[in-house]
Amino acid sequence: MWSSTDIPDLGGRVALVTGGNSGIGRETARELAAHGATVVIAGRDRERADAVAGELGGRAEALHLDLGSLRSVRRAAGEFRSRFERLDLLINNAGVMIPPYGRTEDGFELQLGVNHLGHFALTGLLLDLVLGTAGARVVTVSSNGHRGGVIGFDDLQSERDYRRMRAYRQSKLANLLFAFELQRRYPGVVSVAAHPGAARTGLMRTSPWLFRFVASRRTKWLFSWLIQSEGDGAQPVLRAATDPGVRGGEYFGPDGWGEFTGRATRVAAAEEAYEPISSRRLWIESERLTGVTYPVGAGMLADGP
């Protein structure tokens, strides 16, 4: 069974991890750096990103990135391009989970804006570097919470009716639709997705009290079968990013009951995540909302837009 000890030598490779200053992202960044990659810790909190980069030593750098601001996304993409001429691993990991209603700087519903639209824009702005790097991968971190999700095209920003969990499920389904559509459009890139299962991270801080209770370190002894550590939660992401046997369009998560905990393995997403009509419609809408237009890809030439 795969584990982080199976990660090959990553010397010479450049990885960008959004949300790399905490939780799953921090654990992912640590393992990538430990195996030789140059890791860029992209985070909204400058001090925490600097601190994690300092902990990882010479193989890590910090990059200020606020996915809730398209202005920040564009600035961060430009800064990355000024530092590097290649991008081997783009790990779209950062996110928010079940917060009260809020909007991004650009007026998007917070969960859709940060979890999906910010990453959509960032990937598009860095796509030429990814396409120009042999063997490059884009890993988009979703959630088992995508199951039951619906893309509400008639109220995408939840302006008429905001329900925390419904909006979260929508954003996580959007992550998968994006990851699989990216693979269809650009077959030369390995675009995959992963989810950490249920992990004890700071992401739970804005969740309802029951989620926080189950994920609390104080109840760790009681719910160890249901909630795993940050390090264990990072394993599916790391496998998606580094396993030489990974193929584009695959999805990774824990192998335990309900995919809450366990070892990293290939899993199947909900049927809605593979629906090409919805993914193309979401793609077009995401380009319109973010103002980031992707170049025509080989998959589009073969199958049509």
Residues serving a catalytic function are 168
Tell me, what's the pLDDT at 198?
Answer: 86
Beta strand 89-92 with 60-64 is unpaired
Q: Where are the domains of the chain?
A: 10-292
Is the separation of the CB atoms in 263 and 204 below 8 Å? no
What is the distance, to the nearest Å, from the Cα of residue 9 to the centroid of all Cα atoms in its chain?
23
As given in the structure block, the two tokens for residue 250 are: 């695959």
The one-letter code for the residue type at 216 is S
Residues 194, 139: contact at Cβ < 8 Å? yes
Return the pLDDT at 297. 78
Can you give the pLDDT at residue 301? 62
CB 170 within 8 A of CB 151: yes
pLDDT value at residue 223? 52
pLDDT at 305: 45
- Rounded CA gap, 284 and 281, in Å? 5
Radius of gyration of the CA atoms of the chain, in A: 18
Counts of helices then strands in the chain (DSSP H, E): 11, 8
User: What is the reported pLDDT for 147?
Assistant: 96
Give Cα 153 to chain centroid, integer Å. Answer: 22
pLDDT of residue 225: 45
* Residue pLDDT, tens place only, 222-272: 555 467 889 999 999 999 999 999 999 999 999 988 888 999 999 999 999
CATH architecture of 10-292: 3-Layer(aba) Sandwich (3.40)
- Mean pLDDT split into 10-residue runs, the chain, 305 residues: 95 98 96 97 96 92 98 98 98 95 98 98 98 98 96 97 96 98 96 90 57 55 65 96 98 92 96 97 98 86 52
The predicted structure's pLDDT at residue 221 = 45
